[in-house]
Structure 1
């Protein structure tokens, strides 16, 4: 009998906690009731703790940091959910806890999906800081995209004058837009720091194995920069802001996950 993986139990526990929180929130929405924020956050904190424990055993090896495709997705998911839980203490973003299914999916994939071909990262602190900043930037933009989706749904239902379900518990439209641009500013700042740290510590950002990721990340930075400039100087809002947010996020997703998927599962490098 093969020994159980040390990450199996925390992975299953995290998935169950995420599932319980998702079921509770979905049941409340179905009945038009407002979910208990304290219960949702408590379930989320427990899920994040067990998720992080599972990730630690996946990522930390004697040779260094092993960041394969699914472990990276899991790391970003837990970072996004953790940031959202922290934000819940100060601003009304508990509706973003619809991210819980993402946590359940990624923790199970990192546990059971076959690993790709990935190099172990055993680098200097500067490069590790670059990796961390990249993950945090992607996580912050992920929150912004979910906020943009909710804002789009809110816009649609208000336009057709039949707000119901989740929308009834949303903050006012102006508050939702302010939250979206707050997340975008935070993500843009982290992405800027990520690109700067990469330029300082990676030596050649346009090496063969990095060029696609670098170009797409720079294009995403330009898209988000234009969006934030348009918001400040031209008052961009509504559907225009949502479309630009989706465009920048798609570029960023291709920069990280697209190149990583191709390298690990197609080219095997």
Structure 2
């Protein structure tokens, strides 16, 4: 991994964050053109780094840190693109900060997990579904946090004027449940495809991944049922989203983090 490229991407992400924070804290205007330009450049450099670190002549290096960097790239890309239609200033510093940290971690901490997908199209499909279901549901969890923060601001006794850089609460709620529906649908397909395309899906070493993923699916399914059938809102939605995201993170990354990073 090229240190210059890593430093450039991290610097671009950090400058974008520094341009956003004053607008969130002081309710001042945000130079959206400058932020989006910096962000798209950061994402472009980030993609270039990933293309060199994951793909090599010896196969694909899907180490835990490379996958984390890939997840942060996808989240940053999606949220930056969504900024063209809606105001997500609250989420961008979180996404860009995560992307910068993941790039630094992947560079300074050695971690290798070589795989070969050349002759396994089914496995590629399963991993792609798993990756996009995770990214979508993580974005959903970020939306839930944003919704909780906006709800808290609205209920403050001081009756502060709303920050013009933030979107309306009801719009965030609608977008949140659209995202959760999409993410849970992708997670459903991931769980269905697993036994068909992953030969050790139910092995003793990996059974915890399937179990935790299924429990996360139940959590998100209950949340969606509770919202559409029982009218759940507010803190209940936030906590269900966070718990589901946490379980899915444990399923996807828990054991790999211990074996690749801590033990090595």
* Aligned position for 2:167: 171
Call closer, same or farther: CA 1:222–1:136 in 2, change over 3 Å.
same
* Aligned position for 1:23: 18
8 Å Cα contact 1:96/1:143 also seen in 2: no
Return the offset for 1:114.
Answer: 2.3
Give me the TM-score of the superposition, normalised by structure 2.
0.92
Call closer, same or farther: CA 1:257–1:134 in 2, change over 3 Å.
same
* Aligned position for 1:10: 5
| 1:172-187 alignment, distance < 5 Å | 172-187=168-183
| 1:234-245 alignment, distance < 5 Å | 234-245=230-241
Aligned length: 262
Structure 1 CA distance for aligned equivalents of residues 162 and 127 of structure 2: 35
Structure 1 CA distance for aligned equivalents of residues 131 and 159 of structure 2: 35
8 Å Cα contact 1:8/1:54 also seen in 2: no
Return the offset for 1:38.
Answer: 2.3
Structure 2 CA distance for aligned equivalents of residues 86 and 126 of structure 1: 29
User: What SS class does the counterpart of residue 90 from structure 2 fall into?
Assistant: helix
1:49 and 2:44 equivalent? yes
8 Å Cα contact 1:133/1:193 also seen in 2: yes
Call closer, same or farther: CA 1:100–1:157 in 2, change over 3 Å.
same
1:125 and 2:143 equivalent? no
User: What SS class does the counterpart of residue 169 from structure 1 fall into?
Assistant: coil
- After superposition, what is the alpha-carbon deviation per residue over 1:114-173, rounded to whole angstroms, capped at 9, x for unaligned? 22x524343512111211221111111221111111111111121123466985532222
Call closer, same or farther: CA 1:11–1:236 in 2, change over 3 Å.
same
Q: Once superposed, what is the RMSD of the aligned Cα atoms?
A: 2.0
1:229 and 2:225 equivalent? yes
8 Å Cα contact 1:145/1:249 also seen in 2: yes
